[in-house]
Amino acid sequence: MFTYTNFFRILSIFVIAGALLSLTGTNAQALSGSITDYKFGYGPIASINNDWILAGHWMGYHNPSNLTDSGFHSTFDMVMKNGSAPHMHQISNATISDVKMDGNNTVIQGLVTITMKDGPVVDVPTTWTISNNNTLAIKLDPSMINNHFGESPIYGLVLTPEKEMNIMNKMMEDSKFMDQWIPLMMQNMMSTLNMNGENMSAMPQIMDPSASNSSMGMNMSNNMVIQ
């Protein structure tokens, strides 16, 4: 019997794998070494700085044998706790000058560009601290950005595909809730994307929890487009 939770679990696996593969494919030609030479990470921004909430995503990498081969990007929303003054920031164009270990922490220093209200601010001294491979703290030089984020670092979490699948599996345990929420989410997503009739032709069986895996697979294969 096909269920929404099984479909969402399978979909999540492909989304995570596809995202990582797309990142690898996009940057493969720019790498100065093999994939195994690099340290990389990604995860959400999840921070409260004074009266502000910060939430978004980050990703980064560096080659320990060649620090000029490094990169970091983060895009996150910033909004006051009462929901007012929402805006967005981007951190990019990172250059890494030093990486060292401090106990269980990895401390990385370098420069970044960050978007601000009056335009991008370049060459902002930045320290990234990864603690126990679980948390990330981004400390930007406050004097360069008018103390916009206060004195506290911007915090995030360090994820792995294994951590993400563990979270997803825990969510799937609440099957009663998920079987109600997933079709609502999918209907909203399709409405937002304004999918046309051809792309929608496979969706009725996907949305029907009584559909068998075999019939769903046949329908989807008939509507698959290779680009």
Predicted confidence (pLDDT) at residue 153 exceeds the cutoff of 90:
yes
Give the lowest-confidence range in 20-24, 84-88, 179-183: 20-24
Q: What angle do CA 167, 170, 176 make, to 5 degrees?
A: 135
Instruction: Label the pairing between strands 87-102 and 105-116.
Output: antiparallel
pLDDT single digits (tens) 104-152? 999 999 999 999 999 999 999 999 999 999 999 999 999 999 999 998 9
Q: For 106-118, how does the pLDDT look when each residue is reduced to its tens digit (9 = 90+)?
A: 999 999 999 999 9
Confidence of residue 28 (pLDDT cuts 50, 70, 90): very low
pTM, 2 dp: 0.71
Average pLDDT over residues 51-68: 93
d(CA 169, CA 226): 31
Q: What number is the average pLDDT over the span 180-208?
A: 67
Work out the pLDDT band at 12, boundaries 50, 70, 90: low
Distance CA 49, CA 81 (A): 10
Q: At what angle do helices 4-27 and 161-172 cross, to 10 degrees?
A: 170
Which whole number is the average pLDDT over 25-51? 74
Q: Quick one: pLDDT at residue 183?
A: 87
pLDDT of residue 33: 54
Confidence at residue 124, expressed as pLDDT on a 0 to 100 scale:
98
* pLDDT (average), residues 25-54: 76
